[in-house]
Amino acid sequence: MDEVFKALADASRRSLLDRLHARNGQTLNELCEGLAMTRQAVTKHLAILEQANLVTTFKHGREKLHYLNPVPIHQIGERWIRKFERAKLVALGELKRQLEERDE
Amino acid sequence: MDEVFKALADASRRSLLDRLHARNGQTLNELCEGLAMTRQAVTKHLAILEQANLVTTFKHGREKLHYLNPVPIHQIGERWIRKFERAKLVALGELKRQLEERDE
DNA sequence: TTGACATGCAACCATTTGGTTGCCTATTGT
DNA sequence: ACAATAGGCAACCAAATGGTTGCATGTCAA
């Protein structure tokens, strides 16, 4: 779980996920196109995404194909974000009131 | 948006959000209790959460009260996670098939 | 079979990050 | 008034991060 959050913390990595979301199964070189980064930098980012299980790869000849795995993202939605969404309605309305209570 | 992801990337900070979710409006010292960290370290984490707009603070005498703001978390759920949830059903089923297509 | 292409590996570098310590300021209770 | 309490500020530090360059390896196509 921590690895997923860490992986998502970087904008370049999120944009790689976006690219795979737009077209799944791209090679390393395809994913490098148009990025202001060396291939090796992209490799490192993809390795981090792979270790967080956000991306799965398959070797196909001399190419490496990258596939998006949306499951961990979904889990963060379920296990983490939903918990705080319940608080959403209560929070801001209560805010002032709780503060004023302390003033008595 | 990037600031929110960065803020959520650290486990200590997520646990601070958890604590505020359990009981809103805690002081700095309250939030420090039981943590294996100095007060100043916690201050820094809270500053990052505040800058990401995940936490709002109010001065009340010599105390500083911290309130959870669940809105940015909710936005990540809406704007980011949902997008990938649609891919979830398709992805893993397609995975092998797409790979095999390339073999022709 | 050999050159071009796709990727891998490793060393190196600057900056950011997460933490510390030491000291200062402001508020409060007695 | 003054000691204790709550918090702020700044310098410093080690380790992690995001990137680079240089070279090695494996695979394909002519």
Gap from A80 CA to D4 C1', Å: 40
AA identity, residue B94 = E
Nearest of A15, A77, A25, A79 to residue B92 by alpha carbon: A25
AA identity, residue A42 = V
| CB of B88 closer than 8 Å to CB of A70 | yes
CA A39-A43-A45 angle, 5° bins: 120
Nucleotide D18: nearest residue by CA–C1'?
A41
Q: Is B36 helix (H, G, I), strand (E, B) or coil?
A: coil
Within 10 A of B50 (CB to CB), how many other CB atoms are there?
Answer: 15
Mark which residues 11-70 of A lie under 8 Å from B by CB: 11, 14, 17, 21, 24-25, 56, 58, 60, 65, 67-70
3-class SS shares of chain B: helix, strand, coil, % to 5:
65, 15, 20
- Could you give phi then psi for residue B23, rounded to 5 degrees? -145, 115
Alpha-carbon distances of B28 from A48, A56, A66, rounded to whole Å: 34, 42, 45
By DSSP bridging, strand A26-27 and strand A63-68 are antiparallel
Identify from B2, B63, B81 which residue to disrupt to test chain A contact, counting A C-beta atoms within 10 A and taking the largest count: B81
Would you place residue B50 in the very low, low, confident or very high pLDDT band (cuts 50, 70, 90)? very high
The neighbouring-strand residues paired with B19 are none
State pLDDT tens for residues B9-28.
999 999 999 999 999 999 99
For range B54-82, the mean pLDDT: 94
State pLDDT tens for residues A19-72.
999 999 999 999 999 999 999 999 999 999 999 999 999 999 999 999 999 999
